């Protein structure tokens, strides 16, 4: 969440940042009003408490001096003030809750170097690799759902029978390819990132810490009986690993990598292409995440992007890097680079990784702090993350890009050790 002190002391900067996102500023104005009211109520309540304590001491002194009649009169005055103090205390709590709710709903401020723009049409293409001048053959212009059906490696029809629309099922070599992609992404990152297998179901405060709640509740799967949420990404549990902790600066940065299933309702996908693997409710993903000091953030952001990009490049996929504009970055992000792969069978650029720096926005929600090596007190951490590899769209682009004229799929060299039982012979992979 945003720093309330920044909103109090420099509201113009906050207004300008939210305006760059195209946000309605009315909630911010309401927040400022409520915060002013809360501070006024708190001051009045605290003054009454002090006055009640003073009267209580005076009543005690009068009783000791045998001046009971005077003590009774003061007791009545103290009782009336005490009732008013309790009313103010209730109102203080109500206003404080409203302030926090508004804080939780305000998005992060875009970084100064985040490009200006209203939506995805204003995103900046940083570079394109492997697509310019490419001559895609007819056998590569077949959508992955047709390839998957022809080769018996993707079974959408039975997945829908089992679970409903926008669920898919991989079979045989197709399922092995899912496993291979995830294992490859883990193997490529455990040199510096601690492998974690976090829970897939988390508490409400865990999902709130990353900014997915309360704003995006409709996009998540909620188990109401247990008040648990299915994670939309491993970013959610990884961000809260050190929630409410203070880390020594000497232990930073902390790096984590995790392979999990991810669940998203895709409630906002109406009118969008949902065929095959383009938009699914459940998918596998390997996430890399870092916690660092503000001074470490820029280097960590570049590091995560380089790792995600390097893996896509080695898979032989055409891709591009986008610098997302202020109007298109995620709710919690301050700066985001997207990696999109080109899938020739569907003739689309498909987002496969968002590499984001969240500044102190998530860490403030999760109460993630560090103790500087020199200096007093504590400071708020910065969080960063990105998809090392998200399976569905990479899987789709891979089978389309590497489809051979005979209909089989050529497997890139770095994946071959993971798929030996499925290579050659009469199988779908070569």
Dihedral (CA of 151, 154, 158, 164) sign: negative
**Which DSSP helix (H) or strand (E) runs through 126?**
strand 124-129
Contact status, residue 209 vs residue 243, Cβ threshold 8 Å: yes
At 430, is the secondary structure helix, strand, or coil?
coil
Dihedral (CA of 225, 231, 235, 238) sign: positive
* Rounded Cα gap, residues 263 and 261, in angstroms: 7
* Rounded Cα gap, residues 120 and 320, in angstroms: 14
* Rounded Cα gap, residues 25 and 31, in angstroms: 10
Q: Report, in this order, helix, strand and coil percent for the chain, each rounded to 5.
A: 45, 20, 35
Contact status, residue 362 vs residue 383, Cβ threshold 8 Å: yes
* Rounded Cα gap, residues 149 and 126, in angstroms: 36
State phi, psi for 399 to the nearest 5 degrees. Answer: -70, -30
State phi, psi for 312 to the nearest 5 degrees. Answer: -65, -40
Contact status, residue 182 vs residue 286, Cβ threshold 8 Å: yes
Q: The tokens of 87 are what?
A: 């009313």
* Rounded Cα gap, residues 205 and 312, in angstroms: 34
Sheet strands side by side (includes 382-390): 124-129, 319-323, 335-343, 348-357, 382-390, 282-292, 254-263, 194-196
* Rounded Cα gap, residues 122 and 326, in angstroms: 9
So which residues are the catalytic ones?
A: 264, 279, 351, 354, 393
Dihedral (CA of 199, 202, 208, 214) sign: positive
Angle 173-187/144-151 helices, nearest 10 degrees?
120
* Rounded Cα gap, residues 406 and 361, in angstroms: 51
């Amino acid at each position: 969440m945003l720093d309330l002190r920044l909103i109090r002391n420099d509201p113009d900067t906050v207004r300008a940042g939210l305006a760059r996102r195209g946000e309605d500023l009315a909630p911010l104005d309401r927040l400022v009003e409520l915060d002013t009211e809360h501070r006024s109520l708190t001051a009045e309540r605290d003054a009454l408490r002090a006055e009640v304590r003073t009267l209580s001491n005076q009543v005690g002194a009068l009783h000791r001096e045998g001046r009971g009649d005077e003590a009774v009169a003061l007791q009545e005055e103290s009782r009336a003030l005490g009732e008013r103090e309790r009313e103010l205390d209730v109102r203080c709590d109500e206003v404080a809750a409203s302030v926090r709710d508004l804080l939780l709903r305000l998005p992060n401020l875009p970084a100064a170097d985040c490009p200006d723009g209203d939506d995805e049409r204003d995103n900046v293409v940083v570079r394109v690799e492997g697509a310019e001048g490419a001559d895609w053959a007819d056998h590569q212009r077949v959508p992955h759902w047709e390839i998957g059906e022809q080769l018996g490696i993707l079974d959408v029809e039975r997945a829908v029978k089992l679970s409903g629309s926008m669920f898919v099922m991989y079979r045989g070599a197709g399922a092995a390819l899912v496993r291979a992609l995830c294992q490859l992404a883990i193997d490529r990152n455990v040199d510096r990132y601690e492998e974690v297998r976090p829970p897939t179901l988390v508490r409400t405060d865990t999902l709130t810490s990353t900014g997915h709640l309360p704003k995006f509740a409709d996009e998540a799967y909620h188990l109401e009986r247990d008040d648990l949420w299915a994670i939309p990404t491993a970013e959610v549990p990884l961000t809260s690993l050190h929630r409410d902790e203070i880390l020594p600066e000497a232990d930073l940065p902390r790096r984590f990598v995790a392979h999990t299933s991810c669940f998203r309702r895709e409630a906002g996908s109406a009118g969008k292409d949902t065929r095959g693997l383009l938009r699914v409710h459940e998918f596998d993903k390997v996430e890399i995440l870092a916690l660092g000091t503000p001074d470490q953030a820029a280097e960590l952001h570049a590091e995560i992007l380089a790792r995600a990009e390097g893996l896509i490049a080695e898979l032989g996929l055409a891709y591009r890097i986008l610098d997302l504009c202020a109007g298109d970055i995620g709710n919690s992000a301050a700066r985001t680079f997207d990696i999109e792969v080109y899938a020739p069978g569907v003739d689309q650029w498909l987002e496969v990784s968002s590499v984001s720096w969240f500044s102190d926005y998530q860490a403030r929600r999760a109460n993630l702090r560090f103790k500087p090596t020199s200096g007093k007190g504590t400071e708020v951490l910065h969080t960063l993350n990105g998809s090392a590899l998200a399976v569905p769209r990479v899987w789709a682009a891979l089978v389309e890009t590497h489809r051979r004229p005979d209909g089989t799929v050529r497997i890139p060299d770095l994946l071959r050790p993971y798929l030996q039982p499925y290579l050659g012979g009469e199988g779908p992979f070569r």
